[in-house]
Amino acid sequence: MTSLSPLRVERDAAVTILTLDRPDVLNAFNESLTEALNAALADCASDAKTRAVVITGSGRAFSAGQDLDDRLSTIEKGGDLHLGDELRRRYHPAIAAIRAMRKPVIAAVNGVAAGAGLGLAIACDVRLAAGSATFRAAWGRVGLVPDAGSAFFLPRLVGWGRAFDMVLTGEPVSADEAVRIGLASRVWPDADFESRWRAYASVLANGATEAFALTKEGLNLAMARGFSEFLETEAELQDRAGRTGDYARGVRAFAAKRKPQFEGR
């Protein structure tokens, strides 16, 4: 397997580790990162030697979601934004690949997971959190709707009311709180985090991989029926949100490091 920048791909015995590697922008997803992630997930699916996959981030973040600088430049040029198409082309294949992967996919959430970064984490089978990690349903702060499958998975993990609270306020959820509400399953101190997730992944990679695949198939059927149809609805909703003035106001405010003044449309 090759290492595709800006994604580091590492094999540790039967575990393949995918590290989102744009630390200067908190591993925000640009075109090449989503392309590399999709290619690496396809490799993991077809590689018989890979029996568990870990997704993590380099530096102090898991991922801050879509690269908003890329979106700002389109907005300032007066270009047409088709966020629904972006989701269909770049994010939905990754989320669908994780759900379809016939081996465990673990999110080792080493720092902040926001927007589509949170979506990626909650599409995984298990979330392991570093003590300093935070989970932010940040979409509302830039005038968007939850995406990368988040409106599907978040209420299933934390319940309807808590999901609404997270999405409407965008407030960070700490790692301890994430474990308490079922958003993550383990939290370990930052200093031990990497050794702990490596050990955890190794246990899963040495498990009954075919039985795990069948287990995942059953859980997908029990909890994720309707997921593919949902992704299309999500794309349509995000397309509409991406055409509002508030989205442009949100992205400009983020770039200027100030609070957005939304007008509600």
Distance CA 206, CA 229 (A): 34
Question: Judged by CB, which is closer to ligand T3D: 38, or 238?
Answer: 238
Return the number of the residue (174 or 202) whose C-beta is nearest ligand T3D. Answer: 174
Q: Does 92 participate in catalysis according to the annotation?
A: yes
The stretch among 42-50, 79-87, 124-132, 226-234 that binds ligand T3D (CB under 6 A) is 79-87
Least Cβ distance, residue 255 to ligand T3D (angstroms): 7
DSSP state of 225: T
Residue count, binding to ligand T3D (CB under 6 A): 26
The answer to the question of residue 112 lying near ligand T3D (CB under 6 A) is yes
DSSP annotation of 244: S
- Residue selected from 68, 107, 205, 253 as contacting ligand T3D according to rule CB under 6 A: 68
Between CA 101 and CA 47 the distance in angstroms is 11
Exposure of 86 by Cβ count < 10 A (0-12 exposed, 13-18 middle, 19+ buried)?
Answer: buried
Residues in the chain: 265
- Neighbouring C-alpha atoms within 13 Å toward the C-beta of 167: 19
Are 157 and 182 in contact, with CB atoms under 8 Å apart? yes
* Rounded-to-integer distance, Cα 246 and Cα 265, Å: 6
Among 125, 147, 234, 246, binds ligand T3D (CB under 6 A): 147
Q: Quick check: 241 binds ligand T3D (CB under 6 A)?
A: no
The answer to the question of residue 69 lying near ligand T3D (CB under 6 A) is: yes
Residues in contact with ligand T3D by the rule CB under 6 A: 25-26, 28, 64-69, 71, 83, 86-87, 112, 114-116, 136, 138-139, 141-142, 144, 147, 238, 254
